[in-house]
């Protein structure tokens, strides 16, 4: 079925490209739009096929977080918006009679914490941090090539990402305050040289968070509190070329640099 869809989309794209050639001055733009729309529909079908294989069913009962057994109550559908468009997910639903908590293991397997996919949630949060939500929605629509999410939906996604980031930062802050070591998730490789950088910067605060602080401005109140920012990065590998005097730098073997931000204790 998926192979058939790909063939249909390619044929549709070729037909759209042939029509676009007749529109002088708009050829490349129209072809880009047709290609993006075809890719989105194919991607949407691929994602739908994958989520159909992941319903999270693990038998009639499963252990709940409270330590008791939760029973399977059938399957519940969930509409999820992805970067390629909306898909429907049918997940096994479990309910615990002890703590009255219901949950779907498939949500954890797929990485779902709301009604948006992880990829779309990341795009929304990055746009929502930099722009007003209405303009951020327009930016996501232009980049994705389709109307994926409303301004209110983007706002909810951005705030959820922010709450999750704050929880992680709180854990790091508390561990730092207690003098506990925070182990970064590095791969199982031997790294002989690494760089660690630290800096401090001022974070804007509401007046209630700066009461009693030293005054730095003419309006007799402090506007910021200092936060510490650290960056850990393995040393890049150097590769010699045919020319002994020429060397090229290739990316580190490890993942991208890990950044640790220690927030002020409020």
Helix crossing, 118-130 with 133-144: angle to 10°?
130
Q: Decide: helix, strand or coil at residue 55.
A: coil
Q: Which of 58-67, 130-139, 257-266 has the lowest mean pLDDT?
A: 257-266
Q: Please say whether the beta carbons of 186 and 144 come within 8 A.
A: no
pLDDT digits (tens, 9 = 90+) for 61-105: 999 989 899 999 999 999 888 888 888 889 999 999 999 999 999
- The whole-number pLDDT of residue 248 equals 45
Residue 102, in any domain of the structure: yes
Residues spanned by the domain of 203: 194-262
Cβ atoms < 10 Å from Cβ of 51? 21
Q: Alpha-carbon Rg of the chain, whole angstroms?
A: 25
**Residue 187: exposure state from Cβ atoms within 10 A (0-12, 13-18, ≥19):** exposed
- The whole-number pLDDT of residue 97 equals 92
- The whole-number pLDDT of residue 246 equals 47
Whether 92 and 28 map to the same domain: the answer is no
Whether 69 and 45 map to the same domain: the answer is no
Type and span of the H or E element at 85: strand 85-95
CA distance 212 to 218: 16
**pLDDT above 90 coverage of the chain, percent:** 11
- The whole-number pLDDT of residue 73 equals 92
Residue 254, in any domain of the structure: yes
CA distance 120 to 160: 13
Last residue of a domain, one of 138, 158, 178: 158
Q: pTM score, two decimals?
A: 0.56
């Amino acid at each position: 079925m998926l192979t058939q869809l790909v063939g249909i989309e390619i044929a549709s794209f070729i037909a759209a490209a042939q029509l676009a050639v007749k529109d002088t001055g708009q050829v490349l733009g129209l072809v880009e739009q047709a290609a993006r729309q075809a890719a989105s529909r194919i991607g949407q079908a691929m994602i739908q096929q994958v989520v159909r294989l992941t319903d999270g069913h693990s038998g009639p009962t499963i252990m709940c977080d409270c330590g008791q057994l939760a029973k399977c109550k059938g399957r519940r559908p969930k509409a999820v918006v992805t970067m390629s468009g909306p898909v429907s997910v049918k997940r096994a639903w479990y309910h615990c009679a002890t703590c009255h908590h219901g949950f779907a293991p498939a949500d954890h397997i797929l990485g779902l914490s709301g009604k948006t996919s992880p990829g779309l949630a990341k795009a929304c949060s990055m746009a929502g941090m930099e722009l007003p939500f209405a303009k951020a929605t327009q930016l996501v629509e232009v980049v994705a090539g389709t109307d994926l999410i409303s301004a209110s939906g983007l706002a909810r996604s951005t705030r959820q990402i922010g709450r999750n980031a704050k929880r992680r930062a709180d854990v790091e802050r508390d561990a730092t305050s207690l003098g506990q070591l925070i182990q970064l998730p590095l791969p199982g490789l031997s790294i002989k040289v690494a760089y660690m950088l630290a800096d401090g910067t001022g974070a804007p605060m509401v007046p209630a968070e700066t009461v009693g602080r030293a005054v730095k401005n003419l309006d007799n109140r402090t506007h910021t509190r200092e936060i510490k920012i650290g960056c850990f990065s393995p040393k890049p590998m150097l590769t010699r070329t045919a020319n002994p005097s020429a060397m090229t730098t290739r990316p580190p073997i490890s993942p991208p640099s890990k950044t640790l931000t220690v927030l002020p204790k409020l």
